[in-house]
């Protein structure tokens, strides 16, 4: 489901929230609103809160493992970050101020636009952990990281019971329980409000009288937090940072788009509660902030446009800014100072406890494959990749000319756009990873590591296949998960351990690159780039990455150039189609039957020593429907089973093309075989020892000379020189004009 569909489905929910938000002027209350003392501390589950405390400071909860909740809500800053606009996730920048979290359990509405219910802290935590511009995490991956961390697992079992295992949604419950403990300490003002015999300093006493009287602050700032939870328009000045920093404009527009704001590309300022209600009267309205801990949480207002409490009081005294719903107060300098004194008196001195220690990952002991009785229940489906039926080998020959799909025709401008996007790191979660990061020309358009490096803070679990000649495959990826290059590009850019990109965020990044706006308009005729068009352009570029038969010795030999192959390679060809029986699966122009076979490839030793690989393998099994026994085994790649659900498809992987093998080591789905000689030795033995391997694999009885000749032939299937390509110069981002110059 793309982001536009998700935004549409969320519209009804947001409309319900808006109805309950009661935006705008305060209705007549039964009693005059007033500031109230803090209530008694909440009753919490101590073990659950302690787990939540550790998780609050845990960077494993972010997509790239670099940021925690505390990154934007630091205790020493009153659980804010001290910035006018929060930094947000790596590669992004937020367009609003990060509010403090002291006494957050008492808030009626959460977020500056009030879109979340303050009584549902776990949902708010979920949004912070999963939102692309906050922590951008896949919750299932987070739970596997916790599972790999013994100290956290121990805390988990203390909180949820012996034998319990980390479960994503319970992460949010634990952090929410910790947030309930962040009560602001009671102050002398609280004691006075509670009718205790307390003598407040004279400026504070005057400020309190003004607060409930002449200044009318209590009309909106009431209750124990000093907030009625409603939204008002103050006319705060626009933040210059949004215009100056394209990453903030990107996040702003992404927010508008995913919230379903009409004509969102024209809304280049923060529209506030309008994004929730879609009512014009709510444009520029923001929820009344709490007054607790203000001394520690500046700058102030939704965009941090006021740096000090003195500026805040002066701003309210003048009746706010243009379009404000605030009346001028007519305070003198003495009265303004008294209000500032009161606001400071509502902030108790910070008592910052030390952060919990950082825990190390654990390396799990190697696990045996689950017993046959634990195999998954087969789902009804025709096994298209059956290894029982045989297929007549097709003749070897040069690759045919490609025919582009009718819904994505080729053109030179589209290919050039795709080339730029292929190198552009903006098509990833934190702006660090491009297609070329895992498919480099210098590594045969793959990677030289056994398994791909994947997204920062994670590790991929499979070998990165070359994309050379990928356009000739019927199915992409080792398990055939993608039916087209377009789908492959999307899956790679958005996968949690690949690009981890949010489609709406990536689309907005493209829209803030004037050169891309021009090129997309030229190629697709659209006013603004759309992310599905980016996948089409990248696919068009990839369709040009094919072997040139004039540069491939074997293709030249078949075309009649008798000296194109050495004598050794010619003998290898005879073995390939004869004694070695390679042609059973490696035939046709692509030298692949495009079917799926179980070879029982050796286990990659790195799997037993790299904790992030173990995390990813277990995450893969969890999210793709493996049995609980397979999930607990943690490291078995089930291959085609993930697509078919058929028990007989466990461990089957698509036959790779043999073209360009010379430049694409290491080999197999897990990169376990480093050289072509190791590959030949493996097949000469008849593959692995598993009784479930393909019956096509049998010992070959090759001599040393046979193996040398076979390797020589395999190398002749690659071009004389690798297909290299210099990286292009990428066009820069540029912030769009804001409402101040664009108009609303």
Chain position carrying tokens 């009784």:
691
Residue 556 lies in a domain: no
Q: Do 208 and 127 share a structural domain?
A: yes
Q: Do 540 and 461 share a structural domain?
A: yes
Residue 167 has pLDDT above 80, yes or no: yes
pLDDT in tens, 522-566: 999 999 999 999 999 999 999 999 999 999 999 999 999 999 999
pLDDT of residue 26: 39
381 or 539, which is more confident: 539
727 or 736, which is more confident: 727
Q: Do 216 and 127 share a structural domain?
A: yes
Q: Do 432 and 321 share a structural domain?
A: no
Pair 645, 376: CB distance under 8 Å: yes
Pair 586, 593: CB distance under 8 Å: yes
Confidence band, pLDDT 50/70/90 cuts, at residue 195: confident
pLDDT of residue 326: 95
Pick the closest to residue 515 from 251, 729, 737, 739 (CA basis).
Answer: 729
Pick the closest to residue 102 from 38, 195, 57, 194 (CA basis).
Answer: 38
Confidence band, pLDDT 50/70/90 cuts, at residue 5: low
Residue 535 lies in a domain: yes
**pLDDT, mean of residues 85-112:** 96
**pLDDT, mean of residues 241-262:** 95
DSSP string, 118-148: TT-HHHHHHHHHH-TTTT---HHHHHHHHHT
Domain boundary among 301, 330, 345: 345
Residue 351 lies in a domain: no
Coil/strand/helix, residue 653: strand
Count of CA atoms in the C-beta half-sphere (13 A) of 487: 13
pLDDT in tens, 42-55: 999 999 999 999 99
Coil/strand/helix, residue 241: helix
Phi, psi of 330, deg, nearest 5? 70, 35
Count of domains for the chain: 2
Residue 676 lies in a domain: no
Confidence band, pLDDT 50/70/90 cuts, at residue 85: very high
pLDDT in tens, 617-641: 999 998 888 888 888 776 789 999 9
Residue 333 lies in a domain: yes
Share of the chain above pLDDT 70, in %: 91
Q: Do 293 and 435 share a structural domain?
A: no
Pair 469, 547: CB distance under 8 Å: yes
Give the other-Cβ count within 10 Å of 308's Cβ. 12
**pLDDT, mean of residues 167-171:** 95
Q: Do 87 and 177 share a structural domain?
A: yes
Q: Do 302 and 182 share a structural domain?
A: yes
Residue 281 CA to residue 18 CA, distance in Å, equals 12
pLDDT of residue 3: 60
Task: Identify the domain containing residue 146 by its residue range.
Answer: 3-24+41-345
278 or 30, which is more confident: 278
CA 154 to chain CA centroid, Å, is 27
Pair 83, 97: CB distance under 8 Å: yes
Residue 399 has pLDDT above 50, yes or no: yes
pLDDT of residue 392: 80
Residue 196 lies in a domain: yes
Domain boundary among 547, 570, 597: 547
Residue 469 CA to residue 256 CA, distance in Å, equals 40
Compute the mean pLDDT over every residue in the chain, rounded to the nearest whole number: 91
**pLDDT, mean of residues 202-217:** 97
- Least confident among 184-188, 340-344, 388-392, 637-641: 388-392
Q: Which two tokens stand for residue 471?
A: 């356009």
pLDDT of residue 730: 98
Pick the closest to residue 126 from 157, 171, 166 (CA basis).
Answer: 171
pLDDT of residue 385: 43
Pair 430, 250: CB distance under 8 Å: no
Residue 438 lies in a domain: yes
pLDDT in tens, 344-364: 999 999 888 889 998 999 987
Coil/strand/helix, residue 648: helix
Residue 31 has pLDDT above 60, yes or no: yes
pLDDT of residue 739: 44
Residue 444 CA to residue 556 CA, distance in Å, equals 21
Runs of H (alpha helix) within 624-699: 628-633, 641-644, 676-684
Confidence band, pLDDT 50/70/90 cuts, at residue 380: very low
pTM of the predicted structure, to 2 decimals:
0.92
Domain boundary among 300, 317, 345: 345
Q: Do 472 and 328 share a structural domain?
A: no
Residue 370 has pLDDT above 80, yes or no: no
Long-range pairs, 107-112, Cβ under 8 A, ≥24: 107/225, 107/227, 107/229, 107/290, 108/227, 108/228, 108/229, 109/21, 109/229, 109/230, 109/231, 109/287, 111/287, 112/272, 112/286, 112/287, 112/302
Long-range pairs, 122-129, Cβ under 8 A, ≥24: 122/169, 122/172, 122/173, 122/175, 122/176, 123/172, 124/176, 125/69, 125/171, 125/172, 125/175, 125/176, 125/179, 126/169, 126/172, 128/69, 129/61, 129/62, 129/69, 129/171, 129/172
pLDDT of residue 737: 75
The CATH number that applies at residue 474 is: 1.10.760.10
Pair 642, 482: CB distance under 8 Å: no
pLDDT in tens, 308-346: 999 999 999 999 999 999 999 999 999 999 999 999 999
Q: Do 326 and 221 share a structural domain?
A: yes
Residue 362 lies in a domain: no
Q: Do 421 and 339 share a structural domain?
A: no
Q: Which two tokens stand for residue 342?
A: 């009161």
Coil/strand/helix, residue 645: coil
């Amino acid at each position: 489901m793309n982001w536009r569909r998700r935004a549409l489905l969320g519209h009804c929910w947001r409309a319900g929230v808006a109805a309950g938000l009661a935006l705008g002027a305060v209705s007549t209350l039964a009693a005059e609103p007033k500031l109230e003392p803090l209530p008694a501390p909440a009753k919490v589950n101590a073990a659950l809160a302690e787990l939540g405390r550790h998780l609050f400071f845990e960077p494993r909860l972010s997509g790239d493992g670099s940021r925690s909740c505390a990154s934007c809500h630091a205790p020493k800053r009153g659980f804010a970050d001290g910035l006018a606009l929060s930094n947000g996730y790596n590669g992004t920048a937020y367009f609003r101020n990060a509010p403090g979290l002291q006494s957050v359990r008492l808030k009626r509405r959460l977020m500056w636009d009030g879109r979340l219910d303050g009584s549902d802290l776990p949902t708010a935590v979920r949004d912070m952990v999963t939102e692309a511009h906050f922590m951008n995490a896949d919750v299932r991956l987070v739970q596997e990281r916790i599972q790999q961390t013994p100290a956290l697992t121990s805390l988990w079992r203390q909180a949820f019971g012996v034998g319990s295992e980390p479960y994503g949604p319970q992460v949010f419950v634990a952090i929410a329980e910790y947030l309930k403990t962040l009560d602001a300490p009671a102050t002398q003002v609280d004691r006075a409000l509670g009718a205790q015999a307390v003598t407040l300093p004279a400026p504070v006493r005057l400020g309190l009288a003004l607060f409930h009287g002449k200044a009318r602050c209590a009309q909106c700032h009431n209750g124990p937090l000093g907030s009625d939870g409603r939204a008002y328009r103050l006319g705060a000045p626009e933040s210059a940072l949004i215009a100056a920093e394209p990453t903030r404009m990107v996040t702003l527009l992404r927010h508008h788009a995913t919230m379903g704001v009409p004509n969102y590309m024209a809304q280049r300022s923060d529209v506030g509660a309008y994004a929730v209600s879609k009512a014009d009267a709510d444009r520029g309205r923001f929820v009344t902030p709490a007054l607790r801990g203000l001394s520690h949480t500046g700058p102030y207002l939704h965009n941090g446009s006021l740096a000090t409490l003195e500026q805040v009081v002066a701003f309210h005294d003048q009746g706010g800014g243009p379009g404000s719903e605030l009346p001028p107060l007519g305070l003198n300098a003495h009265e303004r100072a008294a209000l500032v004194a009161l606001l400071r008196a509502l902030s108790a001195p910070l008592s910052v406890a030390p952060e919990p220690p950082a825990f190390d990952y654990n390396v799990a002991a190697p696990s045996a494959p689950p017993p046959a009785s634990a195999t998954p229940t087969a789902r009804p489906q025709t096994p298209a990749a059956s290894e029982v039926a045989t297929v007549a080998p097709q003749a070897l020959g040069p690759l045919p000319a490609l025919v582009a799909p009718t819904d994505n025709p080729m053109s030179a401008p589209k290919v050039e756009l795709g080339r730029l996007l292929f190198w552009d790191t903006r098509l990833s979660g934190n702006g660090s990873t491009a297609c070329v990061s895992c498919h480099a020309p210098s590594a045969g358009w793959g990677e030289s590591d056994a398994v791909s490096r994947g997204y920062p803070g994670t590790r991929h679990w499979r070998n990165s296949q070359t994309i050379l000649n990928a356009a000739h495959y019927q199915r992409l990826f080792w398990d055939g998960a993608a039916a087209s290059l377009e789908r492959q590009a999307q899956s790679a850019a958005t996968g949690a351990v690949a690009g981890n990109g949010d489609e709406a965020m990536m689309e907005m990044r493209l829209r803030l690159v004037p050169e891309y706006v021009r090129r997309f308009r030229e190629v697709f005729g659209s006013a603004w780039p759309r992310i599905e068009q980016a996948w089409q352009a990248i696919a068009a570029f990839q369709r040009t990455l094919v072997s040139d038969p004039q540069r491939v010795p074997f293709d030249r030999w078949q075309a009649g150039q008798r000296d194109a192959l050495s004598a050794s390679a010619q003998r290898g060809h005879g073995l390939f189609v004869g004694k070695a029986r390679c042609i059973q699966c490696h035939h046709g122009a692509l030298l692949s039957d495009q079917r799926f076979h179980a070879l029982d490839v050796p286990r990659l030793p790195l799997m037993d020593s790299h904790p992030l690989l173990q995390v990813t393998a277990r995450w893969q099994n969890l999210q793709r429907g493996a049995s609980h026994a397979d999930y607990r085994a943690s490291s078995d790649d089930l291959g085609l089973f993930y697509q078919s659900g058929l028990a007989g498809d466990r461990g089957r992987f698509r036959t790779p093309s043999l073209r360009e093998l010379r430049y694409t080591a290491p080999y197999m789905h897990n990169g376990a075989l480093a050289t072509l000689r190791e590959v030949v030795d493996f097949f000469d033995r008849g593959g692995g020892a598993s009784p479930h391997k393909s019956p096509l694999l049998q010992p070959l009885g090759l001599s040393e000379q046979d193996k040398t000749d076979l390797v020589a032939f395999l190398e002749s299937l690659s071009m004389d020189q690798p297909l290299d390509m210099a990286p292009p110069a990428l066009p820069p981002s540029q912030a769009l004009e804001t409402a101040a110059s664009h108009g609303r």
